[in-house]
A and B are shown apart, each in its own frame.
Chain A
Amino acid sequence: MKQKTDVLQGTLALMVLKTLDVLGSLHGYGIARRIEQISGDLLAVNQGTLYPVLLKLEQEGAIASEWGASENNRRARFYRLTKEGRKQLQVETQDWEQTAAIIGRFFEAKAEDLS
Chain B
Amino acid sequence: MKSLKRFFTRLFNTATRRAQDERLREEIEEHIALQTAENLRAGLSPVEARRQAKVKFGGVEAVKEDYRAERGLLFIETFLQDLRYAIRLLRKSPGFTIVAILTLALGIGANAVVFAVLNALILRPLNVPDAESLYGIQHGNEASSYQSYLDYLDLRDRNHSFDGLAAFSGAQAGLDTGESPSRVWLYEVSGNYFDVLGIHPFLGRLFHSSDEHGANSAPYIVLSYSFWHTRFQDDRGVVGRTVQVDKHPFTIVGVAPPEFHGTLLFFSPDFFLPIVNQEQVEGENLLNARGKRWIFMAMGHVKPGVTRAQAVADLNSIGSYLEKTYPKDDDQRTFTLARPSLYGDYLGQPVRAFMTGLMLLAALILLASCANLGSLFAARAADRSREVALRLALGSSRVRVLRQLFTEALLLSLMGGAFGIWGSVALLRSMSAWQPFSRWPIQLPVNPDAYVYAVALLLTLASGLLFGAVPVRQVLRTDPYEIVKSGSAARVGGRIGIRDLALVVQIAICAVLVTSSFVAVRGLVRSLHSNFGFEPQNTVLADTDLSMAGYTGDAVQEMQRRMIDVVETIPGVTSVGLINTAPLASGDYKGSLVFTDETADLRPSNAAADSFVFSISPEYFRAAGTVLQSGRTITWHDDKNAPPVAVINQKFASKVFGSVTNAVGGYFKQRDGTRTQVVGVVEDGRYRTLTEDSQPAMFLPLLQSPSSQTYLAVRSDRDPGQLVAAIRSSLRGLDAGLPVYIQPWSKELDNVLFGSRMAAMALGVMGVIGAMLSVTGIFGMAAYSVSKRKRELGIRMALGAQPTEVLGAALGRAVKLLIFGSAVGLLLGILASRVLASIVYTATPRDPLVLAGVVLAMSFVGLLATWIPAQRALSLDPLKLLREE
Convert B62-80 into 0s and 1s, putting 1 for each residue whose CB lies closer than 8 angstroms to a CB of A: 1100110111000000000
The interface on chain B, measured as residues whose beta carbon lies within 8 A of the other chain's beta carbons, has a size of 30
- Contacting B at CB under 8 A, from A21-77, are 27-29, 32-33, 44-49, 51-52, 55-56, 59-61, 70-72, 74-77
Is there an interface contact between B30 and A48, defined as CB atoms closer than 8 Å?
no
Given known pairs A51-B28, A51-B63, the reply for A45 and B55 (CB within 8 Å) is yes
Q: Could you tell me the distance between the alpha carbons of A97 and B753 in the complex, rounded to whole angstroms?
A: 90
A75 contacts across to B, CB distance below 8 A: 26, 30
- Is the CB of B34 closer than 8 A to any CB of chain A? yes
Task: Please pick, from B24, B28, B58, the residue contacting A46 in the complex, using a CB distance under 8 A.
Answer: B58
Q: List 16 A-B contacts (CB under 8 A).
A: A32-B31, A33-B38, A46-B57, A48-B28, A49-B58, A51-B27, A51-B28, A52-B66, A59-B6, A59-B9, A60-B5, A60-B6, A61-B5, A70-B30, A76-B27, A77-B23
- Contacting A at CB under 8 A, from B20-52, are 23-24, 26-28, 30-31, 33-35, 37-38
- Is the CB of B2 closer than 8 A to any CB of chain A? yes
Interface of B with A (CB < 8 Å)?
Answer: 2, 5-6, 9-10, 23-24, 26-28, 30-31, 33-35, 37-38, 55-60, 62-63, 66-67, 69-71
Q: How far is the CB of A64 from chain B (nearest CB, A)?
A: 13
Is there an interface contact between A74 and B30, defined as CB atoms closer than 8 Å?
yes
The interface on chain A, measured as residues whose beta carbon lies within 8 A of the other chain's beta carbons, has a size of 25
Q: Which secondary structure characterizes the binding site on chain B? A: helix
Given known pairs A48-B62, A51-B67, A52-B67, the reply for A60 and B30 (CB within 8 Å) is no
B2 contacts across to A, CB distance below 8 A: 60
Task: Please pick, from B9, B56, B69, the residue contacting A47 in the complex, using a CB distance under 8 A.
Answer: B56
Task: Please pick, from A33, A45, A55, the residue contacting B67 in the complex, using a CB distance under 8 A.
Answer: A55
B37 contacts across to A, CB distance below 8 A: 72
Q: Could you tell me the distance between the alpha carbons of A56 and B66 in the complex, rounded to whole angstroms?
A: 11
A72 contacts across to B, CB distance below 8 A: 33-34, 37
Given known pairs A52-B67, A59-B9, A59-B10, the reply for A47 and B57 (CB within 8 Å) is yes
Is there an interface contact between A45 and B66, defined as CB atoms closer than 8 Å?
no
Q: How far is the CB of A67 from chain B (nearest CB, A)?
A: 9
Q: How far is the CB of A6 from chain B (nearest CB, A)?
A: 12
A-B contact sample (14 more), CB < 8 A, given A33-B38, A45-B55, A48-B58: A28-B27, A29-B34, A44-B56, A46-B57, A46-B58, A49-B63, A51-B24, A52-B63, A52-B67, A55-B70, A59-B70, A72-B33, A74-B30, A77-B23
Is there an interface contact between B34 and A70, defined as CB atoms closer than 8 Å?
yes
B2: nearest chain-A partner, CB-CB:
A60
Is there an interface contact between A27 and B30, defined as CB atoms closer than 8 Å?
yes
B6 contacts across to A, CB distance below 8 A: 59-60
Is there an interface contact between A28 and B31, defined as CB atoms closer than 8 Å?
yes
A71: nearest chain-B partner, CB-CB:
B34
Given known pairs A55-B70, A72-B37, A77-B23, the reply for A47 and B10 (CB within 8 Å) is no
Q: Could you tell me the distance between the alpha carbons of A77 and B69 in the complex, rounded to whole angstroms?
A: 20
B9 contacts across to A, CB distance below 8 A: 59
Is there an interface contact between B66 and A49, defined as CB atoms closer than 8 Å?
yes
B33: nearest chain-A partner, CB-CB:
A74
Q: How far is the CB of B204 from chain A (nearest CB, A)?
A: 68
